[in-house]
Structure 1
Amino acid sequence: MSSVVLIGSQWGDEGKGKITDYLAEEAEYVVRYQGGNNAGHTVIVGEEEYKLHLIPSGIIYPGTKCMIGNGVVVDPGVLLEEMEYLKEKGIHVTPDNLKLSLHAHMIMPYHKILDGLEEEKRGAAKIGTTKRGIGPCYVDKIARTGLRFCDLQNKVSFRKILTQNVQAKNEILEKLYNQKELLDLEAIYNEFMAYGEHLLPFIDDVSYILNDALRDNKKVLFEGAQGTLLDIDHGTYPFVTSSNPTAGYAPVGTGVGPTKINCVLGITKAYLTRVGEGPFPTELFDATGKLLSAVGNEVGTTTGRPRRCGWFDGVLMNYATNINGMTHLTITKLDVLDQLPTIKICTAYEIDGVKTTTFPPDLERLSKAKPIYEELPGWQTSTKGIKTFNELPENAKKYLKRIEEFLSVKIALVAVGPKRDEAIELEKLF
């Protein structure tokens, strides 16, 4: 296979960073196709830990080319900070190993201000935004008033669009939010011209680069941020992100045709987690939930917020499998379950007294869903350091085979620890 789309199967935080890193060693191109710096992933290589938010983790490997696609909204200041962060760790980001789509939209200062004000105004109905300007940037993109990186190449055009936007946003800030401190056009213009001086060498037509690479049968890894249930169209709306983390957006967010995708790899934990608001049918509020949180170190990379924990949800995962057209699956954090005497898999919901195996997309029905569980015996022995499937405890193998059988999707990788070498490869993807 020359192209793999890697997606989150839950609400994000499934361990995509580790698996991206695992595959990036063989991939020649690693491409981010949606979202912004509201997502993050942690990669551990040897004793070194890397926390990344925009730049694909392939940047860690010499010779791997990283791409930020047109579907990503990028805060230039954050991108430069991340470059500096990597430099301090001995990794130099250059136009040779990173390209930024000229069609990607820029997060502006007013996007971040409006993000915070809008969330504050929602009060008890808040959606849990990271307040980093992602949503308002996508709003401007759809409203056709956004600024793209190609606009930095034309100072006259940039200033014209910026002037119109600042006038419009100041009116909103003043009249809707009663703000006294308004946007300073000159300050924003000068700030972004300075960003342009640093970033112009990185700006390129990512679509052409990727199509040429795929034509030459290069190994390309498409990396999604967040997860399926946070998809703006297919997620638990309105508790979703502002973009499409699902596999179907990988071609749109990078400018390659869907026929050029060979494999869709879904990433899921051996249990479930969620950050932020919204229904979570298998959420655990007992000692088991606390154990999963503690052993799994369940804290958001970007937000620092504790993740809610629950049992593996087969109903949700069947939905994610269908939506993404998954061809393969990766199970992460299997080792977190090592201590448990009994492990549960949700195989159906009961909603208003009726059993269903269909995931309800509307919040009212989902909030009523009571999980129906199938219980499996735990293995209560460490899986750390195990390198092959056959070495796993018998009950761990049965658990994985039951997931595979229930979802009708082959498991390609199993992670038994946070480090990149703590993985069991069942099928080679590149």
Structure 2
Amino acid sequence: MSDQRSDSTAINAVLDAIEVKKFGGELSEEQISSVVAGYTDGSVPDYQMAALLMAIFINGMSREETVALTRTMADSGERYSFPECVDKHSTGGVGDKVSLTALPIVAACGAPVAKLSGRGLGVTGGTIDKLESIPGFTFEMTERQFREQIERVGMALTEAGDLAPADKAIYALRDTTGTVDSLPLIGSSIVSKKAATGAGFLIYDVKCGSGAFMKTPEKARELAELLVDLSEALGVSSSALITDMDNPLGRAVGNALEVRESVALLKGEEAPEDLARMARAVAVRLLQLKDTPDPERAVEEALTSGAAYAKLCEFVEAQGGDPGFLESPVVSGSVAEVRAAEGGYVERFDALGVGQAALVLGAGREKKGDPLDYGAGVEVLVRSGERVEAGEPVALLYGEKNVERAEKLVREALRLSEQPTESAPAILDSL
């Protein structure tokens, strides 16, 4: 009988919430908490929650409502507490290997890293997939093992698992009901998981451009401001960068390829300038949040001394990976060149097209559960502003799957102009 009363209470709560939101009203924290709890435990059916999400999508949420939703989802499951640790979150991009580079740098500078990460889907690569291209590497650990590794190594990464289960349930419904691109729902989803992770200092890398969810700098800044505001409201010291994703970050797109490029940067070898600038900027900003003295100098010393690369090796070994792999990452032995069909100046190498090419080669997933070819991907050979001649190699394709389709996608992604053009800076704005 008590369960029936509970179900009835939850259903009445969601019906009341739908009435409020469909006329543009504001929900109380108690209403939000009741609806979220009811949907998480199954007493609120999908069709009612979908109606509420659509009302929110159309009429929006106030700051107070969004904070309440974020807090409720963060509190819906287990929460970790790592108040002295740093973390970063990227809204997803093509060739985005900032976690692989910036986090070992800050850990080498004495700022412990506690990161929960995810797997890639579509053209967006996942940090977990990149690290799992290293033989033996595992993310499976208990909270105690996670905590002990942070204390011992200064850096630990694992999957989000059961943190913020309400967000997981609501996101799955948003994905099937056309309500993904709602700013309050996006912001509360991202921040609830980060708040549950428990790191005290956090930087957001909000991408914008063809290969990003947010297509314009203005929309990206709006999201960045919301993420920082929500994080601060939940007690997390935060900052954000708005970064370009019209072009891939760096040259490599694909799991082992991105590990190889990250290792080159951390070892002080030749690395793409945009990646080097991004990794340094994120590392410096995290150290600033931690009040580290002279963070720019600390970052350079970590790189030039080899401490950042040593920290990556220590971290990989701690999580079961073979650090020897880092010396010579194994990529696909099947390599095909893509040559320019005509001459001109590179206006951009469209990130979305390059990401789609890597996806069809096997480096990404079109749906959850798809197997990956860790050695597959695309290596871009030319950058914005450079001159290319007809017949000149512009990209390398790694892998044996769908090579002709990938070549077509890469050719279409290469945008040429008759006159030289200036490439966008890697970092467009910050707050």
| The two structures share one fold, judged by TM-score above 0.5 | no
Q: TM-score, normalised by structure 1?
A: 0.29
Q: TM-score, normalised by structure 2?
A: 0.29
Q: Which has the higher helix share?
A: 2
